[in-house]
Amino acid sequence: QLQLQESGPGLVKPSETLSLTCTVSGGSISSSSYYWGWIRQPPGKGLEWIGSIYYSGSTYYNPSLKSRVTISVDTSKNQFSLKLSSVTAADTAVYYCARLAKYFRLYYFDYWGQGTLVTVSS
Amino acid sequence: EIVLTQSPGTLSLSPGERATLSCRASQSVSSSYLAWYQQKPGQAPRLLIYGASSRATGIPDRFSGSGSGTDFTLTISRLEPEDFAVYYCQQYGSSHQITFGQGTRLEIK
């Protein structure tokens, strides 16, 4: 059974960089059938896609966050990571990592991590 | 960017009733690229429907999806107590741009 687990600091100071890692177990991050994504959810609000990465390193970002986001992959560790720079209180959210399956013309997030709350505060 | 608008914002129904949730896109979306998720408090979203109408593994057949173009619908034929949750639609667009609807809260009447 595939599992995804987010890890990283739960508290980040304003103007600093938020860094999270997603560890994938029970399957290979190097499969050609999947992308790997980050999604966030501010408290009491809806879901926002942050960006995705393919095992080859190709990245895709939400235009509204693109200037501050970097997503990378480490296939040797079966992990992918998120960095979000210059954070403010508006970046306080539960951050999820998820697998984006791509089968022929079908694309959907089929496995999700449990999520990790990141609070931006001094 | 394709904007997904879900309606209603909140739907109040009783167990056993039929629920109809709407997701409208600001421009045409390929049916292949439309998915629905269920989220319960404190949990990650769970995939219900992909390709607009295909149920994900383990999803009961009381859940069904339909639609095309700009209008998509999630229907729950007979509500069970565990179905009361928030539901999101999501689309995959050109240049790998992904957006979610703002969600519909399904609450017990």
- Print pLDDT tens along chain A (122 aa): 999 999 999 999 999 999 999 999 999 999 999 999 999 999 999 999 999 999 999 999 999 999 999 999 999 999 999 999 999 999 999 999 999 999 888 899 999 999 999 999 99
In terms of CA atoms, which chain B residue is nearest residue A62? B97
Nearest CB to A49 within list B44, B47, B99: B99
Question: Given this model, what pLDDT does residue A105 score?
Answer: 85
| pLDDT recorded at residue A86 | 98
Note the pLDDT of residue B87.
98
Q: Which H or E element spans position B105?
A: strand B104-108
**Contact (CB<8Å) A49/B98:** yes
Q: Which residues are within 8 A (CB) of A71 and not within 5 positions of it... i.e. 6 or more apart?
A: A38, A50, A51, A52, A53, A59, A61, A80, A81, A82, A83
Place of tokens 């997603």: A22
What's residue B94's pLDDT? 84
- Residues ≥6 apart with Cβ < 8 Å to A117: A10, A93, A94, A95
Looking at residue A103, its pLDDT comes to 87
Q: Give the rounded distance of the alpha carbon of B27 from its chain centre.
A: 17
- B84 at interface of A, judged by CB pairs closer than 8 A: no
Q: Which among A37, A52, A112 has CB closest to B44? A: A112
Which residues in A lie closer than 8 A to residue B96 (C-beta atoms)?
Answer: 35, 52, 60
Partner-chain contact A114 B100, CB within 8 Å = no
* pLDDT at residue number A83: 98
Share of chain B above pLDDT 70, in %: 100
- Those residues of chain B that have pLDDT short of 50 are none
Chain-chain contact of A110 with B56 (C-beta, under 8 angstroms): yes
Which pLDDT does position B95 carry in this prediction? 87
- Using an 8 Å Cβ cutoff, are B82 and A36 in contact? no
- Cα–Cα distance between B86 and B105 in angstroms, integer? 4
Please indicate whether, in this complex, the C-beta atoms of A112 and B46 are within 8 angstroms of each other: yes
Q: Does A48 touch chain B (CB under 8 A)?
A: yes
Give the per-residue pLDDT at A46.
98
- DSSP label at A69? E
Chain B environment of A39 (Cβ under 8 Å): 100
Give the per-residue pLDDT at B101.
98
Q: How far is B93 from chain A (nearest CA, A)?
A: 10
Residue with tokens 């999947």: A34
State the pLDDT at residue B97.
94
